[in-house]
Amino acid sequence: MIRFSANLGFLWTELPLVQAISAAKANGFEAVEVHWPYDVPAEDLNGALAKADIPLLCLNTRPGNREAGEFGLAALPGREAEARAAIDEALDYARAVNARYVHVMAGLGEGLFAHNTFVANLDHALNRASDLGLTILIEPINHLDVPGYFLGSFVQAADIIVAFDSPNLKMMFDCYHAEKSGEDIQEILPELLHLIRHIQFASPEGRAAPKLDDPWFQGILETLETVGWGQPIGAEYKTNGATEETLGWMGCRTSVQDRS
């Protein structure tokens, strides 16, 4: 059966993070994930997770200066010290709250210098992650939403992962970004499955909640059922009101079972 993780960077944002965790659990999610939880002490977050009896899957490295347009630091030449400090912070926090994955945000950039910087920073991340029992994730992000993002191609991300050949480096596969990048998800997802550790989704129409009867969404669920995906997939969509009013798509659990 398909299981779901609530991305609390987008869902229940009107609540303090520790309360959003409880809301996710109460509404049927089996895991949560966050973007940048660092304003909440790790012991407080850990307590909320334990109280709700729900695991934290993933968190991101800090994005840098958002007001200046930054969206990650790891592929920025000359910013290695900041990037590695952000990586260390994320790994330490993830370890403290028993998270499984850390998404290292690449940032804006292109060319060989950006590539070499990203690879060097990933090497730093992997050296620490392997000792901590954590997995590093990298995520291709479409260039319509984030023009100039260094990791804008699924092939590019796959090539980096294959080159490292490390069990601690995997891909975060966001179906929304794949669709906006022009990928055929039902083709590329099985092809890259061996490199993928976490999957997310949102409707390609406005990055909103998917509709239960949307053929695009149903096709993703059927593909995941076919390949035997067993981990919770992340609901990372934007809401225009109460999160509870957007959860009709969770009825897909029943609809997928009915078709099998």
Helix/strand/coil (H/E/C) assignment for every residue in 147-159: CCECCCCHHHHHH
Q: What is the mean pLDDT of residues 7-25?
A: 98
Percent share of the chain, pLDDT over 90: 94
Residue identified by tokens 């940032």 is: 107
Report the alpha-carbon distance of residue 254 to residue 260 in Å, rounded.
10
Q: What is the mean pLDDT of residues 220-244?
A: 95
| pLDDT number for residue 259 | 44
Annotated catalytic residue: which of 139, 225, 244, 245? 139
| pLDDT number for residue 120 | 98
Annotated catalytic residue: which of 33, 179, 183, 236? 236
Q: What is the mean pLDDT of residues 176-203?
A: 97
Q: Of 60, 85, 62, whose CA–CA distance to 136 is shortest?
A: 60
DSSP annotation of 30 reads S
Crossing angle of helices 215-227 and 252-259, in 10° steps, is 60
Residue identified by tokens 């307590």 is: 47
pLDDT at residue 115 above 70? yes
pLDDT at residue 204 above 60? yes
**Does residue 33 carry a catalytic annotation?**
no
**Does residue 225 carry a catalytic annotation?**
no
Contact 89, 105 (CB under 8 A): no
Q: Give the alpha-carbon dihedral of 111, 114, 116, 117, to 10 degrees.
A: 170
| pLDDT number for residue 230 | 94
Apex CA 137: angle with CA 132 and CA 142, to 5°?
A: 165
pLDDT at residue 253 above 80? no
Give the model's confidence band at 252: pLDDT under 50 very low, under 70 low, under 90 confident, else very high: confident
**What's the CATH superfamily of 4-259?**
Divalent-metal-dependent TIM barrel enzymes (3.20.20.150)
- Rounded-to-5 percentages of helix, strand, coil across the chain: 45, 15, 40
